[in-house]
Amino acid sequence: MIRILGILLAVIFAILSFFHLYWAAGGRFGIAAAIPTAGVEHLFKPSPFATILVAAALFAAMLVVLGRIKIWGAFVPGWIFYSGTWVISVLFLLRAIGDFRFVGFFKSVTDTNFARWDTILFSPLCLFIAVVAFLISYYQAK
């Protein structure tokens, strides 16, 4: 079961990484809902380089998960995958909780396009990632 969850999580990270590469290359699909806004103003405008860094981090998270479930990385010390999945779990739990204003389950700004998507997709996905990464960290993959 842990192996299946790990593969599912790796696929999610691969898809998220792909979306960030797509946006870095100038893709527009989904971008309007992907950046937090205050009214109609985006809170930040990520550069293509920053977006590629996020894609690389998501790809690295995929590799960590695959290493933890022993699909790859026999040459890498196991503690890296073990610690890495704990880090993934904590970071995505913090993202799901949010900043209490614009992102997360406890946000106060709820009337923007981003906020709606954050409530129905982004924050639940982050919580799912956090829980699955915790399970993968906690239980040894067979």
Chain centroid to Cα 105, Å, comes to 15
DSSP 8-state secondary structure symbol assigned to residue 102: S
pLDDT (0 to 100) of residue 141: 52
How many CB atoms are located within 10 Å of the residue 93 CB?
16
In a domain, 47, yes or no: yes
Domain range for 85: 2-28+43-138
pLDDT along the chain (142 residues), means of 10: 95 98 96 89 94 98 97 95 97 98 95 95 98 92 51
Evaluate if pTM is beyond 0.85. Answer: yes
Q: How many domains would you assign to the chain?
A: 1
Rounded (5°) CA angle 46-47-48: 120
Rg (the chain; Cα; Å): 16
Residue 42: strand, helix, or coil: strand
Residue 35 lies in a domain: no
